[in-house]
Amino acid sequence: MDIVPPPPRKPAPRRRAASARESKPGTLGWLFAIEAAELVVVQDRWWGMSDDSPIASDYELLRDPSGSFAGQRHAFRRGTLEGVAEVALTAAVAKRFLHTLASAPVAPGPYEPLMDLTDDFPSVELAIHTGADVHRGGILLLFTSSQGTFHTPWCATFRGETVTLPSNHAGRALALLRRLPRPAPRTA
């Protein structure tokens, strides 16, 4: 009896990059093909006067052919891994997340975080990866250490260019991820 190996798996089709005409001039999506993202990695950290400090969540989300993102969220408290949860963004939520980032207005100039309070030290990094073959793609890194609900302003770097995001768009996109289920605490 001959055993026939299964057919090779087909890789997910490459996403078409959103054309520059689909994003408005002066926005992050005009400069970088955010909506063609294949991988989103986030490190969301906070330090301050709290018994639970530092508090952090790390997300790693991979896009599937349907446009959804799935991956894991790692939660940390007091610098110790609290738990890991499988998480997913539906295609509709993923589209809203990416569109919110793409529509963020950009401004030239240096990034200066907004810090009005003591004992409140956020640090958020959000990396968007597209395929190497995507026009206006590559790796986009957004980061902020600004205080406030949406951590405005943000800074973005890609392909050797740096811009500031003076609006709350990136913080609103981050809020969509923060709604994902928290991992259940680990038991000893």
Q: What is the pLDDT of residue 16?
A: 44
Residue numbers of the domain that contains 99: 27-178
Average pLDDT over residues 118-143: 89
pLDDT, position 138: 93
- pLDDT of 114 above 60: yes
Is residue 20 one of the residues assigned to a domain?
no
Residue 15 reports pLDDT greater than 60: no
CA 64 remoteness from chain centre: 16
Q: How far apart are CA 81 and CA 50, in angstroms?
A: 17
Q: Is residue 13 part of a domain?
A: no
Q: Model pTM?
A: 0.81
Asked whether residue 188 is assigned to any structural domain, the reply reads: no
> Order of strands across the sheet with 120-129?
80-89, 69-77, 55-63, 39-48, 120-129, 139-144, 154-158, 161-165
The domain tally of the chain equals 1
Q: What is the pLDDT of residues 16-36, one digit of tens each?
A: 444 444 678 999 999 999 999
